[in-house]
């Protein structure tokens, strides 16, 4: 016979399993490397796309049509969130100031609500050699 304690432990594990594995999106988790984070999924919140800034690159996490690369396509009304997670400070700076930008950040996040259709180029003004040519494309689905 299974002890009540063991039964409760088993129940707890089974009950938590869907929470651990069933979500459509993988929210940002600093304990995971970029390669371990799934991409190309809807984010946990509607109307959001997430990028992680690490290894001198902006990587798509969720909410973009694309699963990788320098272009993130979203529909109007999407808030793009950049999570800073590198060992050095970076920023998000819009080319031609089309949507402004962030301060230089080592941690934390920067977000911008994209309401108008268009292509919005951005990069890191500190490391333009490595971190340029990125864009958010806002297009009707």
Tracing tokens 């869907």 back to the chain, one arrives at 18
How many other CB atoms sit within 10 Å of the CB of residue 91?
A: 20
Out of 90, 110, 134, 135, the residue judged to bind Cu ion by CB under 5 A: 90
What is the C-alpha separation between 30 and 132, in angstroms, rounded? Answer: 24
The residues pairing with 90 across neighbouring beta strands, listed in sequence order, are 105
Least distance from Cu ion to the Cβ atom of residue 124, Å: 3
Contact between 60 and Cu ion (CB under 5 A)?
Answer: no
DSSP classification of residue 24: S
Element of type H or E holding 84: strand 78-84
**Number of residues engaging Cu ion in binding (CB under 5 A):** 4
What is the C-alpha separation between 33 and 51, in angstroms, rounded? Answer: 13
Contact between 50 and Cu ion (CB under 5 A)?
Answer: no
Contact between 57 and Cu ion (CB under 5 A)?
Answer: no
Least distance from Cu ion to the Cβ atom of residue 95, Å: 15
Contact between 124 and Cu ion (CB under 5 A)?
Answer: yes
Q: Which residue number, 43 or 53, has a Cβ lying nearer to Cu ion?
A: 53
Contact between 34 and Cu ion (CB under 5 A)?
Answer: no
Contact between 126 and Cu ion (CB under 5 A)?
Answer: yes
List phi, psi (to 5°) of 36. -90, -15
Q: How far is CA 14 from the centre of its chain?
A: 29
**Where does this chain touch Cu ion (CB under 5 A) — which range of 15-23, 66-74, 95-103, 119-127?**
119-127
Chain contacts with Cu ion (rule: CB under 5 A): 90, 124, 126-127
């Amino acid at each position: 016979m299974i002890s009540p304690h063991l039964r409760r432990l088993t129940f707890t594990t089974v009950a938590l399993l869907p929470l651990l594995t069933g979500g459509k999106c993988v929210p940002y988790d600093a304990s995971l490397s970029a390669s371990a984070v799934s991409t190309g999924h809807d984010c946990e919140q509607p109307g959001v796309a997430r990028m992680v800034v690490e290894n001198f690159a902006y990587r798509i996490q969720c909410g973009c049509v694309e699963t990788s690369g320098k272009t993130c396509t979203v529909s109007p009304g999407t808030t793009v969130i950049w999570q800073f997670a590198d060992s050095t400070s970076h920023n998000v700076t819009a080319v031609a100031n089309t949507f402004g930008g962030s301060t230089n950040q080592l941690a934390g996040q920067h977000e911008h609500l994209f309401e108008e259709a268009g292509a919005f180029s951005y990069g890191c003004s500190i490391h333009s050699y490595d971190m340029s040519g990125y864009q958010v494309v806002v297009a009707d689905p």
